[in-house]
Amino acid sequence: MSTRRSSAGAPPPTTYREALREGLREAMHEDERVFLMGEDVGNYGGCFGVSLGLLEEFGPERIRDTPLSESGFVGAGIGAALGGMRPVVEIMTVNFSLLAMDQILNNAATLLHMSGGQLGVPVVIRMTTGAGRQLGAQHSHSLEGWYAHIPGIRVLAPATVDDARHMLAAALADPDPVLIFEHGSLYNAEGVLDGTIEAVDLDTAAVRRPGTDVSVITYGGSLPKAMAAADVLAGEGISAEVVDLRTLRPLDDATIMASVCRTHRAVIIDEAWRSGSLAAEISSRITEQAFYELDAPVERVCSAEVPIPYARQLEEAALPQVATIADAVRRTVS
């Protein structure tokens, strides 16, 4: 972990990347069955630097570099979980996870059901998601909503350093397969870890900012944008409540509906495409469960329905931004 100290002697800030690394390190110290496998997780320290230094600390038996074959090494992780191990499988980006979709959908998510409860698959699969870093369409899409469609798995989207630090332990304790989506724009983000947290509840969304006029519902890399938009709107006298979903499957309907019942308006921020999106699912649930609480139609702010562009100005135009979030809120409360 970082050894930086503030001038006032306060706890040092920790990056999202460092928090993930500490979560991995703690899990491996506490349970010898836990090991990490994936492309470049060893000598290179992970494509995004999350596992830097872990090979030297735990050795090549527990920090395993794999060939560039997502179907192969995800399948190996599923087999290891069936054999009693607790593998953490890292996939470079969500786009490449599609090469392992057969393993995730047809094996990891279904074996417990198909075996009548005899074959649990407690594998954790981590991957980077999202755009905003000029990496081109094949490295930049937000497909976590696809996985949230699948019964038999849990889908997590940590957006804060505390969740990045503690979600892995809870995921490893889950008897079902767990997918963790880490937004690429968050790796360098800093925050001060809450030293009082010992565990996180994966079943509960979090109200990151209370408000009275509108519920802004989001997750992952869109949370900082939603919080920034709430700051802008506060200067205009609009009180936005920001809800961080944290877990995309199963969704915490209770927290979502409680927020909508307080504010009577909802704006959903989802970096995925609008058609068939997680935002569409949440909007539908609000309509089904809290329709008579609404004072305005539910708004959605999603990415443009195009492959994510490479050019910076085009990429920024295609993604939800602070300004477009604030504009959606203004329409909702006007």
pLDDT in tens, 154-166: 999 999 999 999 9
Say whether pLDDT at 141 is over 50: yes
Tokens of 246: 């944290």
pLDDT bracket for residue 3 (50, 70, 90): very low
Domains of the chain: 14-191 (3.40.50.970), 206-333 (3.40.50.920)
Say whether pLDDT at 285 is over 50: yes
Close Cβ partners of 318 (under 8 Å, ≥ 6 residues apart) = 131, 303, 304, 306, 308, 309
Q: Region 118-142: what's the mean pLDDT?
A: 96
5-9, 137-141, 165-169: least confident range: 5-9
In degrees, rounded to 5, the angle at the alpha carbon of residue 150 between the alpha carbons of residues 218 and 28 is: 80
Say whether pLDDT at 302 is over 70: yes
Q: Which of 22, 139, 183, 299 is catalytic?
A: 139
- Residue holding tokens 């920001």? 242
What pLDDT is stored for residue 2 in this prediction?
Answer: 43
pLDDT digit string, tens, across residues 226-280 = 999 999 999 999 999 999 999 999 999 999 999 999 999 999 999 999 999 999 9
Strands 206-209 and 240-244: antiparallel
Q: For residues 6 and 190, which has the higher predicted lDDT (pLDDT)?
A: 190
Q: Region 60-74: what's the mean pLDDT?
A: 97
Q: Give a three-class secondary structure readout of the chain.
A: CCCCCCCCCCCCCEEHHHHHHHHHHHHHHHCCCEEEEECCCCCCCCCCCCCCCHHHHHCCCCEEECCCCHHHHHHHHHHHHHCCCEEEEEEEEHHHHHHHHHHHHHHHCCHHHHCCCCCCCCCEEEEEECCCCCCCHHHCCCCHHHHCCCCCCEEECCCCHHHHHHHHHHHHHCCCCEEEEEEHHHCCCEECCCCCCCCCCCCCCEEEECCCCEEEEECHHHHHHHHHHHHHHHCCCCCEEEEECCEEECCCHHHHHHHHHHHCCEEEEEEEECCCCHHHHHHHHHHHHHHHHCCCCCEEEEECCCCCCCCHHHHHHHCCCHHHHHHHHHHHHC
What pLDDT is stored for residue 199 in this prediction?
Answer: 86
Q: Region 135-164: what's the mean pLDDT?
A: 96
Q: Please list the residues that pair with 209 across neighbouring strands.
A: 242
Say whether pLDDT at 77 is over 50: yes
CB 265 within 8 A of CB 296: yes
Distance of CA 50 to the CA centre of its chain: 15
What percent of the chain has pLDDT above 90?
95
Q: Which of 70, 90, 271, 281 is catalytic?
A: 70
Q: Region 211-221: what's the mean pLDDT?
A: 98
CB 297 within 8 A of CB 274: no
Is residue 139 part of the annotated active site? The answer reads yes
Q: What is the CA radius of gyration of the chain?
A: 20
Residue 67 phi, psi (nearest 5): -65, 165
Q: Which of 214, 197, 188, 334 is nearest to 268 (CA)?
A: 214
Is residue 70 part of the annotated active site? The answer reads yes
What pLDDT is stored for residue 198 in this prediction?
Answer: 84
CB 306 within 8 A of CB 281: no
Residue 51 phi, psi (nearest 5): -100, 15
Q: Count other Cβ atoms within 10 Å, centred on residue 333.
A: 20
CB 174 within 8 A of CB 154: yes
What pLDDT is stored for residue 7 in this prediction?
Answer: 52
Q: Which of 272, 299, 303 is nearest to 148 (CA)?
A: 272
Say whether pLDDT at 6 is over 90: no
